[in-house]
Amino acid sequence: MTSPDILVIGGGIAGLSAAAALSSHARVTVLEAEEQIGFHSSGRSATMVHYALGDRLVRALTLASRPFFDEPPDGFSDVPLGRRTPVLVHAREDEREALDKLDAEISHFATLERLDAAGVHTLCPLLREDARHGIADLNGTRLDPHALLQGNLRKLRSRGGELHTGHRIAAIAREGATWAVTSEKGERFFVPTLVNAAGSWADRIAELAGVQPIGLEPKRRTIITFDAPAGTDLEHLPFTKTIGDELYFGSESGRLFASPMDEVPSEATDAQPDEYEVALAAYRMGERTTVEVRQIHSKWAGLRTFTSDRHPAVGFAPDSEGFFWLAGQGGFGLQTSPAMAAIAESLIGGTAWPVPDVAREDLLPDRFLRQPA
Collapse the DSSP code of 308 into the 3-class scheme (helix H, G, I; strand E, B; otherwise coil) and give the result: coil
CA distance 360 to 182: 31
- What pLDDT band is residue 327 in, cutting at 50, 70 and 90? very high
pLDDT at 310: 96
Per the DSSP assignment, residues forming a β-bridge with 220 are 264, 303
User: If DSSP codes are grouped into helix, strand and coil, which group holds residue 259?
Assistant: strand
Q: Which amino acid is at 234?
A: L
Q: How many other C-beta atoms can be found within 10 angstroms of the C-beta atom of residue 76?
A: 18
Mean residue pLDDT of the chain comes to: 95
d(CA 326, CA 318): 14
Question: First CA to last CA across the chain, in angstroms?
Answer: 41
The Cα angle at residue 251 between residues 245 and 252, in degrees rounded to 5? 110
Position 35 scores a pLDDT of 84
Residue type, 102: L
Quick one: 6-46+145-215+309-368 is in which CATH superfamily? FAD/NAD(P)-binding domain (3.50.50.60)
Confidence of residue 245 (pLDDT cuts 50, 70, 90): very high
- Alpha-carbon gap, residue 351 to 61, rounded angstroms: 17
- Segments making up each domain of the chain, as ranges: 6-46+145-215+309-368, 86-139+217-306
Cβ contacts of 290 within 8 Å, gap of 6 or more:
126, 127, 128, 229
Superfamily of domain 86-139+217-306: D-Amino Acid Oxidase, subunit A, domain 2 (3.30.9.10)
Are 328 and 364 spatial neighbours (Cβ–Cβ below 8 Å)?
no
CA–CA gap between residue 72 and residue 345 (Å, rounded):
18
User: Each residue of 132-187: pLDDT tens digit?
Assistant: 999 999 999 999 999 999 999 999 999 999 999 999 999 999 999 999 999 999 99
Per-residue pLDDT reduced to its tens digit, 185-227: 999 999 999 999 999 999 999 999 999 999 999 999 999 999 9
The yes-or-no verdict on residue 38 having pLDDT over 90 is no
Q: What is the pLDDT of residues 74-109, one digit of tens each?
A: 999 999 999 999 999 999 999 999 999 999 999 999
* Cα–Cα distance for residue pair 49/224, rounded to 1 Å: 20
The answer on pLDDT for 279 being more than 50 is yes
In angstroms, the CA 15 to CA 196 distance is 8
The neighbouring-strand residues paired with 258 are: 224, 249
**CA separation for the pair 318, 202 (Å, rounded):** 16
Q: How many CB atoms lie within 10 A of CB 371?
A: 4
pLDDT at 252: 87
SS3 content of the chain, % helix, strand, coil (to 5): 30, 30, 40
Q: What pLDDT score does 46 carry?
A: 66
Report in angstroms the alpha-carbon separations of 338 from 21, 69, 313, 332: 9, 8, 15, 12
pLDDT of 338 > 50? The answer is yes
Q: Are 193 and 7 in contact (CB under 8 A)?
A: yes
Task: Provide the percentage of residues in the chain whose pLDDT is more than 70.
Answer: 97
Confidence of residue 33 (pLDDT cuts 50, 70, 90): very high
367: which residues sit within 8 A by CB, 6+ positions away?
A: 309, 361
User: Mean per-residue pLDDT for 293-310?
Assistant: 96
SS in 3 state form for 30-73?
A: EECCCCCCCCCHHHCCCCEECCCCCCHHHHHHHHHHHHHHHCCC
Contact (Cβ atoms closer than 8 angstroms) between residue 330 and residue 310: yes
Strands of 48-49's sheet in order across: 48-49, 141-143, 82-84
Chain-centroid distance of CA 52 in Å reads 14
pLDDT mean over 256-270: 96
* pLDDT given at position 47: 82
Residue in 171, 176, 267 with CA at minimum distance from that of residue 210: 171
Of 161, 177, 117, the residue nearest 23 (C-alpha): 161
- Judge whether 331 and 58 are in contact, CB under 8 Å: no
Q: Could you tell me if 67 and 337 are in contact, meaning their C-beta atoms sit under 8 angstroms apart?
A: no
Degrees, nearest 5: CA angle 135-109-95: 30
Q: How far apart are CA 253 and CA 142, in angstroms?
A: 13
